[in-house]
Structure 1
Amino acid sequence: MTTLLTQSYWPAEKSTGVRDITLPGLLREAAEEFPDKLALVYGAKNPENRRHWTYAEFLADVEQGARALLAHFSPGDRIAVWAPNSANWVILQQAVAMAGMVVVAANPAYKTHELEFVLRHSGAVGLFYVKNYRGANLEPVVQTALGTATNVKTLVTPDTWEAFLDSGDPEAKLPDINPTDPVQVQYTSGTTGFPKGAILHHKGIVNEATFVGERTAMGPDGVCINAMPMYHIGGGAVTELQTISAKGTYVVMPAFDPALTLELFETYRGTHSLMVPTMLLAVLEHPDAATRDMSSTQTIMSGAAPVSEALVKRVIERWGCQFSILFGQTEMHGVTNQTRVTDSPEDQARTVGQPLPELEMKIIDVDTGEIVPVGVQGEICARGYQNMLGYDQLPDQTAATIDPDGWLHMGDLGTLDERGFLRVTGRLKDMIIRGGVNLYPREIEEVLAGHHDFAELVVLGVQSEKWGEEVAAVVRLRDGCTQPDPAELKSWCRERISAHKTPSRWYFTEAYPQTPSGKIQKFVLLDQITSGELEAVVAPSSQADQQGRESVAQ
């Protein structure tokens, strides 16, 4: 598009077209064209534990998995996956899609009440999970959750995986699937204290990922090194399907490890990767970065948190590669905006690029709903095939998010320039983005409200060089209570909420700044924190605790 905009409206950019295609259709295309090409690698830390699949082998295992699923479940059933990254995660996800079922992706860092809610709310009838994660025994968590999530009838663990695969009928007919059939329920943390399940369809995640791959110039020679969690839209849709669409090689890491990332790039001649800024910094600053061969690197993608111009330039200069910034949200099947590899480092750092093809975008006045002139801040709205089907079992919240004209209100504030480049300036929703993970204060506040010393509390995000934002809590204590020890607060929280949601900074106040109507002014609190008027109390962090908090990177 060469016409300069005067209003903040971007008409859908035409392309080769949005395909009516499904996940199994995409995989079958790749297997037919490149049956003997390396398709999938499990990049275990110990090379002896690594496994490799050609596209023909990948497809065969997915078909076997789909038939096994059909022996236990029916098309349309919800299948929950509560496990860290593995090649089996990828195969299972593809098999669920091929069987006409729906993946319910669950963060393996969930605590009991979080897993229980997702299982019960989604109506999942099967649960695939690992027994141990980061040294913790997950069996008691599962058994407790099943006490109320009685809809779950079948459990599968790595110990029973092979037997499960063998349980299918090799002659069973696989179902016909429509491109707009649901394929995933991705839970996003909700402002009401519980997450909302965004229902995604085949057509949305396949085409969106294909367009992302086109902007990163990925082709059949592409090798994507992925440490993004498979339960996250970035791992379980964007990187995986981008690679299959390009008919490249997908190397999935069990967890983020900067040394392993460097080694896998060297060993498999990695060309592409999606890493949030904290991951990029860890890789760049690792001692092995000076000796590993990264010359095969073609394009590094980043996003989910602000990416500085200095970091963009550092990556480009260090690895001699191209860079691409991604922006979007789960409700839009992942990415809505993306910089091209030919965009300047300034545009890479100061904007999130133009909308993907076939997607309309506008910026509207928050009060009037009218489109604003270019450069004027307003709410970001998008419309197109990428719209989610809706929030699972939440028609009112779906209607509040997708208006009658089909515009999805993203809840973010931003501006469009005359070229259609989007700059994100804030959030209508009080979302905190910590290391690429979206966290919502209300959910955390409801847990912290259970502390007997707290009269009132506010959770908000404060700037962090490493994480983009960190979780902070501003607390007003009950009369007569003394300020708790931060180490004790951390321990108390860790028993009740995921590590990455636990506040890392605590502030104590006797009164909150309020509007005349009594609403707490969070922006004033942030000013008080920035100016030093409120001083942080920080608990000491051990190495083990730090590893436990790196939820997205791992």
Structure 2
Amino acid sequence: MSISDQSISEPAVALPAASYWPATTDVDLDVTTVGALLRRVATEVPDRIGLVDGPADPAQRRRWTYAEMLDAAESVAAALLARFRPGERVAVWESNRAEWVLLQMGAALAGIVVVTINPQYRTEELRYALGQSGSVGIVHGTEHRGVSMTGIVESVRDELPDLRETICFADWDAFVASGDRSTPLPDVSPDDPNLIIYTSGTTGFAKGALLHNLGVVNASRLSAERAGFRDGDAWINPIPLFHTGGGVLASIGTLARRGVHVVVPQFDPALVLELMETERGALILTVPTILLGLLDHPDRPARDVSALRTVMCGGAKVPADLVRRTKSTWGCDFSILFGQAEMHGVLTQTFPTDSDDDQAETLGRPMPHVEVKIADPSGAPVAVGAEGEICARGYQNMMGYWNMSDATGATIDADGWLHSGDVGTMDERGYLRIAGRLKDLVIRGGENIHPLEVEELLLEHEKVAEVAIIGIPDPKWGEQVGAVVQSADPTDPPTPDELFTFCRSRLAPFKTPKLWYFVDTFPRTPSGKIQKFVLRDRVASGELREWQ
């Protein structure tokens, strides 16, 4: 059975007392590919601007109509097919730029699977991603933050026998001109793979989620529609294109809505605010750190962002105060996203019309054509409001982890349910709330402790800027609760006694941290999530020492 066949099947009947949401089918899926979608939009609105490259110097900004995008993408497809076969994997290792998007579109027309790689990766990480994915080619930048990307590619090339071609974006024009435009393009199916996106790595070993055309097109399109992104709107995109937020939701969501994709080369709050004004941005997708950077920037009050209708935010827990502050400051709507690369980026989302409480406190309702349940360890739905693992089934599920059958089997069960590893609840309306990660649970003396509850409490303390709760092995209790704290003011940090007293007055004794660690910065994934496994490793190695 194909992916599209699975996605339109009628869902099972929900148990009224269980945390289960059946797949809704009131909105049709667009059963197409990324390449076919580009052709359709270029036919419908050929002269409409579809892509803007947004460097800091306005004189260097470039624009493409949809007709020009298609023409460029067809040239890219011909150049790729002169070197690679449909179905082969080609990596992209570069910061945001318009050519990244054109390469993505050309690869989709050619049936080439794009492997997205974080430009911050260094030698070992790049070698792993290229080797694990079996990439036969790489298109890369020249340098990133003072590090030679060309030099790193050359240093690993001889160790990767599958890697046949290396292409630098500095040679883009010559590359695009190198193909034969008369080369016939392959027939690509909606079920065919489109992208490999490596997981952020909050638990360590990176895995490549294999995403298909049907999921890339529809997850992005339906998310954009739910957020109120209208036909022809401008989307300001500071999210890295190697991430599902940038390369799926923004890039393809804009295409599906025939809008303007404004590519921000790297996050600079002053530049983003200027582009929001000059490009009349109607929507911006952010993570909390980006959103705070925009709201706190001194240029913000002077910028006219009256075209902004919706701020979307995800990638990490979005504090309620940040939601309310954003809506109050800009007079805009807000939409919370929750999902994973394994689900093509989004599983649930709030509506702009949702109440302030729902916007600030929930993850929204499941997207169309996907079943969601909150499951107990046996896989059965728990009672409404009870905690369990968030699981999903439908067209949005990845095809699997590339070349990792055991990891795929541990994530997608025999009945097709994808196990997210996130603990949450569902209310009687189908709205989800997050409680934490299963693997982040601290189990002290047989009691389960959700780090998020303790973290949210500590964030209320005026001297705490950020905090991560982790389990520390303990011979008596199994695990002890440890708190890793970043001070709001490094010159006036809180003391462990002060924080212990603060927590103890509002938490059960077993939940109150007993071990305290202080850091200047946290190790993070590219999407901004704290890498708790790194903190645990640093404690175990003695690199991070308890505050005495």
Q: What SS does the aligned partner of 1:294 have?
A: coil
Aligned to 1:180: 191
Mark the CA change 1:395 to 1:299 in structure 2 (over 3 Å): closer, same or farther.
same
AA at the equivalent of 1:246: R
Q: What SS does the aligned partner of 1:334 have?
A: coil
Q: What SS does the aligned partner of 1:429 have?
A: helix
- Please state if 1:266 is matched with 2:277: yes
- Please state if 1:16 is matched with 2:24: no
Aligned to 1:231: 242
Return the offset for 1:159: 2.1
Contact 1:363 1:371 in 2 (8 A): yes
* Whole-angstrom distance in 1 between the partners of 2:232 and 2:116: 30
Mark the CA change 1:5 to 1:304 in structure 2 (over 3 Å): closer, same or farther.
farther
Return the offset for 1:266: 0.8
Which aligned pairs between 1:4-403 and structure 2 lie closer than 5 A? 5-189=16-200, 193-366=204-377, 368-403=378-413
Return the offset for 1:471: 7.0
Return the offset for 1:430: 3.6
AA at the equivalent of 1:536: Y
Which aligned pairs between 1:503-522 and structure 2 lie closer than 5 A? 512-514=473-475, 521=479
Return the offset for 1:226: 0.3
Contact 1:306 1:468 in 2 (8 A): no
Mark the CA change 1:212 to 1:50 in structure 2 (over 3 Å): closer, same or farther.
same
Q: What SS does the aligned partner of 1:536 have?
A: strand
TM-score normalized with structure 2 length: 0.82
Q: What SS does the aligned partner of 1:184 have?
A: strand
Mark the CA change 1:137 to 1:470 in structure 2 (over 3 Å): closer, same or farther.
farther
Cα deviation 1:50-71 (Å, max 9, x = unaligned): 1000000011101110011001
Mark the CA change 1:526 to 1:164 in structure 2 (over 3 Å): closer, same or farther.
closer
* Whole-angstrom distance in 1 between the partners of 2:206 and 2:180: 37
Q: What SS does the aligned partner of 2:299 have?
A: helix
Contact 1:513 1:525 in 2 (8 A): no
Consecutive unaligned residues in structure 2, runs of 5 or more: 1-13, 442-453, 486-495, 501-512, 529-548
AA at the equivalent of 1:271: A
Cα deviation 1:427-464 (Å, max 9, x = unaligned): 11349xxxxxxxxxxxxxxxxxxxxxxxxxxxxx9779
Aligned to 2:535: none
Aligned to 1:536: 517
Return the offset for 1:323: 0.6
Which aligned pairs between 1:420-439 and structure 2 lie closer than 5 A? 420-430=430-440
Return the offset for 1:150: 2.4
Aligned to 1:490: none
* Whole-angstrom distance in 1 between the partners of 2:467 and 2:83: 43
Return the offset for 1:533: 4.7
Return the offset for 1:515: 6.0
Cα deviation 1:5-30 (Å, max 9, x = unaligned): 52101011122212211001111111
Consecutive unaligned residues in structure 1, runs of 5 or more: 432-460, 475-510
* Whole-angstrom distance in 2 between the partners of 1:89 and 1:514: 51
* Whole-angstrom distance in 2 between the partners of 1:99 and 1:356: 30
Mark the CA change 1:471 to 1:166 in structure 2 (over 3 Å): closer, same or farther.
farther
Contact 1:4 1:418 in 2 (8 A): no
Q: Aligned residues, how many?
A: 478
* Whole-angstrom distance in 2 between the partners of 1:159 and 1:309: 44
Q: What SS does the aligned partner of 1:283 have?
A: helix
Cα deviation 1:225-272 (Å, max 9, x = unaligned): 000000001000011111111101100000011111110011111100
Contact 1:82 1:107 in 2 (8 A): yes
* Whole-angstrom distance in 2 between the partners of 1:85 and 1:375: 41
Cα deviation 1:315-361 (Å, max 9, x = unaligned): 11211211100000111111000000000121111110000001100
Mark the CA change 1:54 to 1:114 in structure 2 (over 3 Å): closer, same or farther.
same
Contact 2:23 2:368 in 1 (8 A): yes
Contact 1:513 1:524 in 2 (8 A): no
Return the offset for 1:523: 3.9
* Whole-angstrom distance in 2 between the partners of 1:311 and 1:246: 28
Structure 1 stretch displaced more, 14-23 or 278-287: 14-23
* Whole-angstrom distance in 1 between the partners of 2:39 and 2:212: 18
Aligned to 1:409: 419
Mark the CA change 1:306 to 1:194 in structure 2 (over 3 Å): closer, same or farther.
closer
Mark the CA change 1:179 to 1:378 in structure 2 (over 3 Å): closer, same or farther.
same
* Whole-angstrom distance in 2 between the partners of 1:200 and 1:550: 20
Contact 1:327 1:338 in 2 (8 A): yes
Aligned to 1:497: none
Contact 1:98 1:174 in 2 (8 A): yes
* Whole-angstrom distance in 1 between the partners of 2:46 and 2:92: 28
Compute the RMSD of aligned alpha carbons: 2.8
Q: What SS does the aligned partner of 1:186 have?
A: strand
Mark the CA change 1:279 to 1:380 in structure 2 (over 3 Å): closer, same or farther.
same
Mark the CA change 1:549 to 1:423 in structure 2 (over 3 Å): closer, same or farther.
closer
Cα deviation 1:177-236 (Å, max 9, x = unaligned): 000100111111457743111110000011111110111111123100000000001000
Contact 2:482 2:514 in 1 (8 A): no
TM-score normalized with structure 1 length: 0.81
Aligned to 1:438: none
Q: Percent identity?
A: 46
Q: What SS does the aligned partner of 2:347 have?
A: strand
Which aligned pairs between 1:454-473 and structure 2 lie closer than 5 A? none
* Whole-angstrom distance in 2 between the partners of 1:256 and 1:538: 24
Contact 1:274 1:301 in 2 (8 A): yes
Contact 1:186 1:330 in 2 (8 A): yes
Contact 1:5 1:420 in 2 (8 A): no
Contact 1:227 1:252 in 2 (8 A): yes
